[in-house]
Amino acid sequence: MSSDEQLTYDDVAPDASAMIESMRAYGYTLATAIADLIDNSIAAGCTTVWLDSWWSGDKSWISITDDGQGMSEEELRNAMRLGSRNPRDEREPSDLGRFGLGLKTASLSQCRRLTVFTRAEDGDAHVRRWDLDHLARSDVRGWQLLKTRHPESIASLERFESLDNGTTVLWEELDRIVHDASVDDERLRSHFLKSIDDVEQHLAMVFHRYLDRPRNRLRINVNGHEVAAWDPFATRHPATTTTPSEMVRLPDHAQPIAVKGYVLPHKDKLGPEGHKEASGPGGWNAQQGFYLYRNERLIVAGSWLGLGGRRPWTKEEHYKLARIQLDIPNSMDHLWHLDVKKSHATPPPQIRERLRGLAQKVRQDARGVFAHRGRYGARTKRKELQRPWQPGKRSGCVVYRIDRKHPVVAAVLKDSKERRPLVEAMLRVLEETVPVQQIWLDAAEHPEGAAPPFHGASSSARRRVVVTAYDAVRRNLDLSHDEAVARLTSCEEFADDEVLAILSTLATHPVQ
């Protein structure tokens, strides 16, 4: 095209009302939308964020206030502009934004009236409002960003007015959360309150590294309640195991990606409360996988990121203890295909195999802990715990055999003498009728319902089993006391402190 060529064109600016109505369908949830706003608060240097909600039927409202640096009038006007920044622009390493859309798309995905109040230090307060009902009026043309709050607004600004500097984002006309609701609609009121509870759990997870910092800690307050960090890796529990931190580098990129694997404790070591706490917002199976962070902000929580070879890994019960921390710099957003909501990412092809290999080790360790009820790796000087049931294959199908070398089974077989064929026949019947399908069905429907050995049995009943097994092993396998104890405690069902205490009382126990 020559430099002196005259271009002819039409200026086809989008219709404001139609454009914004279309942008409401980005797929935000209430929790992800609020998290997006808190990103802006963190970027503004805040120390505290307050989330306040008020139920009043159709007049219900939600506000997010921070004590950050606030904005000038010009900065506020630009912040309310759709597409206020180019995603390709270079940003500060600590910047949590990218598209310049989050404030608007996140807010308007949940409400029809978005009002922002802001005050910079030693400055005046400024207000701007996007009102979708105003834009939809037939006599309104263009993109009219209003300069006042709505005259019928009942939302409280007491928190904002108490701050020397900061910003409040106010959502009204919450048509995606409450619609055509009266103040007395108890069903919708309960739904509204439950939604806020879900938001608190989400924020505890997404910003847990900010909430748990020893210095410069972020505080998030939801309706007067301070949010406590939820650590997906249970790093403070002594039974949590880790892999060494790995640095993975992309070609022609100076900053590395940090990867660290965690295998969480088996529920037997966590206890009921600890097990519930560690399960996370989505439950144990949903929380397994990679946790992708950008500048310590959680982007993806519990995903195998499409890894796994020909058939991508799925979330399975026996890998639920595996969680992997993955830290990327914000300069890699485009390489990971981060979406506007900051809730989805895809690993660059150059490192997929490396990540798969690192994850495979964590998955294997997690499966070992799950299968051995938390005792995997705990006894470095002993062989792996012995189990009476052994999986195998026959004619291409999985079968389960009773291990004849298990000390109690071996003792019974040796003691059976002429009745051994009958005992073998009984064992074979048990092996041929293992209800595998029923076990899998029960495990799928009640993944946390599997009981450990002797769960619920009385101490006296368990003692009878231990003493009987001890006598049989010593007598029929011709073992000393120490040898018998070692053989029994190498078995899964006898490998705990209670059994060891019982066995210690039998040192002088006569063999019958």
Q: Are residues 115 and 170 in the same domain?
A: yes
Residues 352 and 434 in one domain: no
- The percentage of residues in the chain with a pLDDT greater than 70, rounded to a whole number, is 89
Q: Which of 226, 250, 278 is the last residue of a domain?
A: 226
* Residue-level pLDDT at 439: 79
Instruction: Give the mean pLDDT of the chain.
Output: 87
Residue 96 has pLDDT above 60, yes or no: no
**pLDDT at position 88 over 50:** no
Confidence (pLDDT) at 381: 39
Q: Are residues 88 and 218 in the same domain?
A: yes
331 and 405 fall within a common domain: no
Work out the percent of the chain whose per-residue pLDDT is above 90. Answer: 57
Helix (H) or strand (E) holding 32: helix 30-43
For 79, left (φ over 0), alpha (ψ -120 to 50), or beta? alpha
Question: Above 90 in pLDDT, residue 202?
Answer: yes
Q: Under a CB-based contact definition with an 8 Å cutoff, are residues 330 and 98 in contact? A: yes
pLDDT at 91 over 60: no
- What is the sign of the dihedral through the CA atoms of 23, 25, 26 and 30? positive
**Using one digit for the tens of pLDDT, what is the confidence trace for 455-487?**
788 888 989 999 999 999 999 999 999 898 989
**How far apart are alpha carbons 292 and 295 in whole angstroms?**
10
Residue 383 within a domain: no
Joined tokens for residue 410? 């071996």
Rounded to two decimals, the pTM is 0.72
Based on the fold, state whether residues 470 and 328 are members of the same structural domain.
no
**What are the pLDDT digits (tens) for 9-55?**
888 888 888 888 887 877 899 999 999 999 999 999 999 999 999 99
Say if CB 404 and CB 413 are below 8 A apart.
yes
Based on the fold, state whether residues 251 and 347 are members of the same structural domain. yes
Question: Are 251 and 158 part of one and the same domain?
Answer: no
In the chain, how many domains are there?
3
Judge if 288 and 347 occupy the same domain: yes
Give domain status of residue 377, yes or no: no
Residue 376 lies in a domain: no
Summarised one tens digit per residue, pLDDT across range 363-396 is 999 988 887 665 544 443 344 578 888 888 888 7
SS3 labels along 226-288: ECCCCCCCCCCCCCCEECCCEEECCCCCCCCEEEEEEECCCHHHHHHHHHHHHHCCCCHHHHC
| 235 domain residue, yes or no | no
Residues 80 and 217 in one domain: yes
Whether 300 and 362 map to the same domain: the answer is yes
**Can you give the pLDDT at residue 285?**
92
**What pLDDT, on the 0 to 100 scale, is given for residue 19?**
83
Residue 510, domain member (yes or no): no
Tell the residue number behind the tokens 């006309």, with chain if given: 173
312 located within any domain: yes
Q: Which tens digit of pLDDT belongs to each residue from 217-272?
A: 999 999 999 999 999 999 999 999 999 889 998 887 888 999 999 999 998 889 88
Residue 5: pLDDT band with limits 50, 70, 90: confident
Q: Per-residue pLDDT tens for 418-435?
A: 999 999 999 999 999 988
Residues 6+ apart with CB under 8 A from 483: none
Whether residue 23 is found in the same domain as residue 139: yes
- Compute the C-alpha angle 476/421/473, nearest 5°: 15
Is residue 378 included in any domain, yes or no?
no
Helices 459-477 and 407-416: angle between axes, nearest 10 degrees: 60
Q: What is the extent of the structural domain holding 437?
A: 389-504
Nearest CA-CA partner of 75 in 143, 128, 19? 128
Residues 329 and 394 in one domain: no
Residue keyed to tokens 């989008």: 14
Residue 341, pLDDT score: 59
Report the CATH number that the domain containing residue 37 is assigned in CATH.
3.30.565.10
Query: 8 in a domain, yes or no?
Result: no
- Residue among 52, 91, 47 at smallest CA distance from 69: 47
Q: List, for residues 147-184, the tens digit of each pLDDT value.
A: 999 999 999 999 999 999 999 999 999 998 888 888 99
Task: Say what the pLDDT of residue 97 is.
Answer: 44
